[in-house]
Amino acid sequence: MLVVFVAPFFSPAATQMIEAALALPHIRLAVIAQQPLDQLPRHLAGRLVGHWHVADVTDAAQLAWAVQGLSAAHGAVARCFAAYEQSQLPLAIVREQLGIPGLPSSAANNFRDKARMKDVLRAAGIPVARHQLVGQPGDARRFVADVGFPIVVKPPAGAGAKATERITDANALEDALQRYRPTVDDPMLAEEFLRGTEHSLETVTINGKPVWHSLTRYAPTPLEVIENPWIQWTVLLPREVDDPRYDDIKRIGDKALAALGMTTGVSHCEWFRRPDGSVAISEIAARPPGANMTTMISRAHDIDFVGSWIRLMVDGQFVTPARRYAVGTAYLRGQGHGAVASIEGLDTVQREYAHLICDARPPYLGQHPTGSYEGEGFLILRHPDTRVVQDALTRIISTVKVVLR
């Protein structure tokens, strides 16, 4: 079976996925990427049956050219998929053109176009933030008149909190309109600002049927993290995934996936628990989660979740794992400007929580800021008791200080 995996770059996450795919004995793996093959570690590159170098993995024409070239050289392509969100729609178009099974383009467009997504969800009776596609300044001003400040604005095809901006008053709105300069052909998306605690819901779906769920909680919200580069933040994956207090979001999440047209794969839904206890969905991606969540899921169940996702995409099979631990990640982010000049409190928490730490990428002196919400380093903890993990995360981010100068 010839399988094609698509990734823009050979990042650590993409490399991990390639390695997991190569572990399947019954497939032959080819890769489409924007990097040449010599950028992939040799022990992996030598095991690929093919590689196709393209300029842009979000261009359906280039992807079709690459898939057809690989098929001509190595035989019919049985599966073609990616974890990169921006590739989902063009890949779906290519699969339909070439008769390769996978998520339909109509569903991929539902997931990729956030305005369309919210229209579909609202029509299905699913609670989502109120929104407006802004093709001219008057659209945004009328939307604010209806919902009030604050609002958030983003590209309709944004991914997660990236490129998302909170607008708190009329001056900020006018400034954003000047910078975005929205048009009917190139609009921006305005949304109601959701208040409450923010979470994620991960779901494995096979042939349209949800078969497994996972949950996390962000503290603070990803938007606050993006707005404040110095904030150290946490993601908590509770052990009690089957607790009745999560029944509502799992039911609503499953209904949302059905409305959007999910077939087989892993989805990542960001949602809010509002102050009144109700649930509202922010957005959903038809891909595995980022921010170390695949590692956290792996540690919570003593499995290789990346490998499980690869088998799901290749064979349509998923073995439901038992939740053994609560897991949390503390993201350590620098304060100030420049390189890392000092790190305070890290040795203390590493000694204090050595029995909990299962993965770590500590910051180091002289390190330049990553510019990412994941920060300059992280510690991943696990323990059977969720409270133990939560308390440790709180102490870590209050104790560790990464100073930039």
The predicted-structure confidence for 218-277, as pLDDT tens digits, reads as follows 999 999 998 998 999 999 999 999 999 999 999 999 999 999 999 999 999 999 999 999
What whole-number distance in Å separates Cα of residue 28 and Cα of residue 73? 13
Q: What is the pLDDT of residue 158?
A: 61
Summarize the confidence of residues 392-403 as an average pLDDT. Answer: 98
Provide the mean pLDDT of the chain: 96
What whole-number distance in Å separates Cα of residue 167 and Cα of residue 170? 8
At a CB cut-off of 8 Å and minimum separation 6, what does 104 contact? Answer: 92, 96, 261, 263
Number of neighbouring beta carbons within 10 Å of residue 71: 18
Q: What is the pLDDT of residue 164?
A: 83
pLDDT-derived band at 132 (thresholds 50, 70, 90) equals very high
Q: 308 has which bridge partners?
A: none
* Radius of gyration (C-alpha) of the chain in whole angstroms: 22
Q: Which residue has the tokens 């870590």?
A: 396
Indicate yes or no: pTM above 0.85. yes
